[in-house]
């Protein structure tokens, strides 16, 4: 009697686990090194995180062994993932964080008054 379960795909899950642990160690090392340019650190850590996500999706979610129809099913998600930041950009990215908002103006005015008062008061260190 044959023991074939219809698949024929053999995945060494311990090897994938080892790769994920190695990627985690790399992320921690990047954080310990912490280059002067924070943008470089962000790109490196996010790159490792994307690699880990791809390993999990490919092997633990068995997407590596699926047909090409998975791309058709993921296309609405990709469209929404690209469209959401574009739709929110005018509200969050441009308008809200400008100095024209009352909250920002009050903070700037408060900081100006505090620095003027500090400059006008005599020093207590003498």
Residue entry with tokens 């060494």: 12
Tens of pLDDT, residue by residue over 39-89, are 888 899 999 999 999 888 888 887 777 777 777 888 898 899 999 988 888
pLDDT grade for 2, boundaries at 50, 70 and 90: very low
Burial 65-85 (b: 16+ CB within 10 A, else e): eeeeeeeeeeeeeeeeeeeee
The least confident of 66-75, 85-94, 117-126 is 117-126
pTM of the model: 0.50
Residue-range domain boundaries for the chain: 11-66, 69-119
């Amino acid at each position: 009697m044959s023991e074939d379960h219809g698949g024929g795909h053999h995945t060494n899950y311990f090897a994938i686990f080892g790769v994920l642990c190695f990627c985690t160690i790399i992320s921690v090392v990047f954080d310990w090194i912490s280059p002067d340019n924070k943008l470089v650190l962000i790109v490196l850590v996010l790159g490792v995180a994307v690699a880990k996500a791809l390993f999990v999706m490919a092997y633990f979610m068995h997407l590596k062994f699926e047909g090409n129809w998975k791309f058709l099913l993921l296309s609405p998600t990709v469209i929404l993932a690209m469209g959401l930041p574009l739709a929110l950009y005018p509200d969050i990215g441009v308008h809200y964080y400008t100095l024209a908002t009352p909250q920002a103006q009050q903070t700037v005015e408060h900081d100006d008054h505090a620095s003027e008062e500090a400059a006008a008061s005599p020093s207590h260190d003498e």
